[in-house]
Amino acid sequence: MPTAASEKTVGRLTIYRRLLDELVSAGTENVYSHELATMSGCTAAQVRRDLMAVGYSGTPTRGYNVRDLLDSIGKFLDDPAGQQVALVGVGNLGRAILAYFAGRRPKLRIVAAFDNDPYKVGRVIHGCRCYGTGEMPDVIREQAISVGIITVPATAAQTVADQLVRAGIRGILNFAPATLRVPPNVSLEHNDITMYLEKVSYFARQGNRREKKERQGD
Binding to a copy of itself in span 74-113, by CB under 8 A: 77, 79, 83, 85, 91-93, 95-97, 99-101, 104-105, 108
Q: Tell me the closest approach of the beta carbon of residue 191 to a copy of itself, in angstroms.
A: 5
Q: Tell me the closest approach of the beta carbon of residue 91 to DNA, in angstroms.
A: 32
76 scored as a contact of DNA (CB under 7 A): no
Q: Single out the residue of 30, 133, 143, 146 in contact with a copy of itself (rule: CB under 8 A).
A: 146
24 scored as a contact of a copy of itself (CB under 8 A): no
Give the orientation angle of helix 66-77 with respect to helix 44-53, to 10 degrees.
60
What residue type is 98 in one-letter code?
L
Among DNA, a copy of itself, none, partner that 129 touches (CB below 5 to 8 angstroms by kind): none
Stretch that binds DNA, among 30-38, 90-98, 118-126, 183-191 (CB under 7 A): 30-38
Q: Tell me the closest approach of the beta carbon of residue 4 to DNA, in angstroms.
A: 10
- What is the C-alpha to C-alpha distance for residues 117 and 94, in angstroms, rounded to an integer? 13
* Minimum CB distance to a copy of itself smaller for 106 or for 183: 183
Number of residues that bind DNA (CB under 7 A): 25
Q: Tell me the closest approach of the beta carbon of residue 101 to a copy of itself, in angstroms.
A: 7
* Minimum CB distance to DNA smaller for 58 or for 148: 58
Build a one-symbol-per-residue string for 42-71: x at contacts with a copy of itself by CB under 8 A, - elsewhere. ------------------------------
Residues 198-217 that bind DNA (CB under 7 A): 216-217
Q: Assign 150 to helix, strand or coil.
A: strand
**Exposure b/e, 52-90, CB count within 10 A at least 16 = b:** ebbebebeeeebbbbeebbebbbebbeeeeebbbbbbbb
* Inter-CA distances, 53 with 29, 101, 148, Å: 21, 26, 27
CA 121 to chain centre: 25
> Residue 71: CB partners within 8 Å, gap ≥ 6?
none
Name the nearest CA neighbour of 133 among 93, 85, 89, 92. Answer: 89
193 scored as a contact of a copy of itself (CB under 8 A): yes
* Minimum CB distance to a copy of itself smaller for 98 or for 139: 98
Exposed / middle / buried, residue 10 (Cβ in 10 Å: 0-12, 13-18, 19+): middle
- What is the C-alpha to C-alpha distance for residues 165 and 183, in angstroms, rounded to an integer? 8
